[in-house]
Amino acid sequence: MKTLTGKNVVITGAAAGIGRLMALNFAREKANIALIDIDRRRLEETERECTALKVKARSYVCDVSSKKMVDGVAKEIRKEFDRIDILVNNAGVVAGKPFLDLSYEDVKRTMDINFMGTIILTQAFLPAMVVRNDGHIVNIASSAGFLGMPNLSDYCASKFAEVGFTDSLRLELKKFGHTGVKLTCVCPYVISTGMFKGFKPFIFNPVLTPEYVAARVLQGVKKDKAYVVMPFMVRLIKYVKLFPVGIQDWIVANMGANRAMDTFKGK
């Protein structure tokens, strides 16, 4: 298990929810934190909380879907922290509408933040990790990256993309000998942060607490886990995919997935 003392960590979506909790967990491990979010007030609150734990913490207001903004902020971060050891791509949004009710702008926003944000940040910080053959990228995906659901077509698409990207990049880095750069794909079920307010949990799948998810992420990073999937029932999705499509759809419907977003309100 690797130590995080003195490591420099970049976390997106760090103003609230699991982003904030992950930042505090890394700070308790004596890692320095670069915090990215669009919410300046809450971002600065997270910075103060991390600083109180006697580590260096800096906040950067940035829209992760803007390459120009990310490139500028990445330059500032490299100047302040020198090397970046861990990148946590956590920023995300959900529209929660049937596909026919989604505007082009809705879909673009979801894909730009949830997926392209991950791409842009990874392009900003991965090259230096490859040169050193040392680093760690953590992509916060979702169980929705394994299973399609009604009213979440754009969200599922963004998370399927994130899972596929993480798998492909992991294999690519190994192929070219960059085995010191690790990747972790985090795929939790719904988290009680308000982002999915009104969501009806599936049978046998309780909504996860952000504290639990943040703790599992930290553990996964320290153990260099390729995947952190939670809870256990989510791991069974891959076996559902072995059945014919008609049976898959029947299982998903009877788990409650078809009704899960009926009372969705979001933040």
Give Cα 95 distance to the centre of its chain: 17
Residues 6+ apart with CB under 8 A from 24: 46, 49, 50, 53, 214
In order of 55, 167, 176, 190, the CA distances from 145 in angstroms are 34, 12, 26, 12
Residues 6+ apart with CB under 8 A from 180: 132, 133, 134, 135
> By the 8 A CB rule, do 84 and 125 touch?
yes
Which of the residues 60, 104, 155, 212 is marked catalytic? 155
Residues 6+ apart with CB under 8 A from 211: 21
Residues 6+ apart with CB under 8 A from 249: none
Catalytic, 155? Answer: yes
Active site residues: 155
